[in-house]
Amino acid sequence: MLEKLAHLEERFRELTKLLSDPEIIADRMRYQNLAKERSQIEPLVRKYQKYEKVIRQMDEAQELYTLEKDLEFKALAKAELDKLAKEKEALEGELRLLLIPPDPNDEKNTIMEIRAGAGGNEACLFAGDLFRMYSKYAQGKRWKINILSAHPGEVGGFKEIILSIEGERVYSGLKYESGTHRVQRVPATEAGGRIHTSTATVAVLPEAEPVDVQIKPEDLKIETFRATGAGGQHVNVTDSAVRVTHLPTRIVASCQDERSQHKNKAKALKILYARLFDYFTQERIKKRAQERRIQIGTGDRSERIRTYNFPQGRVTDHRINLTLHKLDAILEGEIEELIQRLQSEDRIKKLEGMR
């Protein structure tokens, strides 16, 4: 670890020197790339420099403790050594965390898909609750939401809703939300007051650009059809809806929400690219069994990850055995505590995998 940190410190000094070179300053693209690299490693280098300072101070305190004859000064040196040893241990832990390779998708925007699962109309209502929860959370983070496709439920909520979320480190914050969410509550239509259990699934996909997923034009089947459902009279007379199929994987994306066939095609392709990027990513993860073991469940769509229990006013995340008795606040978008605990647990597991 120390050898790697020393190398990064040397690279940091090299980058600092390069960024003052007039030729590099004149090359805007190269300057931006080098500046970005420097900013990425700077927190780690600064922490390492603090660690090196503590090591030097420990050497000085150890020398004083060894050579000093006065018992009072010797005790002071020993106390200083103990204090510095604790600081050294804490810094080593922080450095290990900083050395964990970042998820290359963390900076990406996100496609979120929420679908009603088991439970009929109640599942649709719960999908609507989840959509509202994530929308409130996104608003608090000042992220931008754009609905790509929506299929309302018969009594409210959604059978399916797909949205894009744009902003700073969106995927980093939401990637742990993928999986099956379960709700336990008494439906408004239940005369007997019995508690029902319903589910909704959430898929969080990093938004992908064509450069991220290489697709041959001949591998795409693009079809137009007449839109159905809400949206105005035009749905009965215009073939504006678009369905795109990636033939090798049979992955499909469709959109009918816009009046324009061109806009529907653009949205469908956006969804398709995200689904394909996620599909190929999951295939790579399956092949890398060790990496899969140190993750906490960011990709398995069938995994039951969380229960929302209304009678007891609690939310339980089953992956980290965390129960919070603040259901109302969480449904109002206050999910930061959940997300931070999941991020922390993920870092711990990755650290264990690096040993």
Q: Residue 225: what pLDDT?
A: 84
Domain residue spans of the chain: 2-99, 110-211+302-354, 217-285
Q: Is the model's pLDDT at 180 over the cut of 50? A: yes
pLDDT, mean of residues 181-202: 85
Q: Residue 191: what pLDDT?
A: 60
Give the CATH architecture of domain 110-211+302-354. 2-Layer Sandwich (3.30)
Q: Residue 70: what pLDDT?
A: 83
Q: Is the model's pLDDT at 330 over the cut of 50? A: yes
pLDDT, mean of residues 8-12: 91
Q: Is the model's pLDDT at 155 over the cut of 50? A: yes
**110-211+302-354 and 217-285 have identical folds:** no
pLDDT, mean of residues 13-29: 91
Of the pLDDT bands very low, low, confident and very high (cuts 50, 70, 90), residue 122 is very high
Q: Residue 135: what pLDDT?
A: 96
Tell me what the pLDDT averaged over the chain comes to. 85
Outline where DSSP puts E strands in the chain.
110-116, 144-152, 158-166, 179-185, 196-206, 220-225, 241-246, 251-255, 304-309, 314-317, 322-324
Q: Residue 239: what pLDDT?
A: 73
Distance CA(168)–CA(209), nearest Å, equals: 17
pLDDT, mean of residues 212-231: 78
Q: Residue 336: what pLDDT?
A: 94
Task: Express as a percent the part of the chain with pLDDT over 70.
Answer: 88
Contacts 24+ apart (CB under 8 A), 208-216: 208/108, 208/273, 208/274, 208/276, 208/277, 209/273, 210/273, 212/273, 212/277, 213/273, 213/276, 213/277, 213/280, 215/246, 215/273, 215/276
Q: Residue 189: what pLDDT?
A: 65
User: What CATH number is given for 217-285 in this structure?
Assistant: 3.30.160.20
Q: Residue 293: what pLDDT?
A: 44
Q: Residue 353: what pLDDT?
A: 63
pTM of the model: 0.68
pLDDT-wise least confident of 99-103, 129-133, 149-153, 350-354? 350-354
Q: Residue 132: what pLDDT?
A: 97
pLDDT, mean of residues 266-271: 89
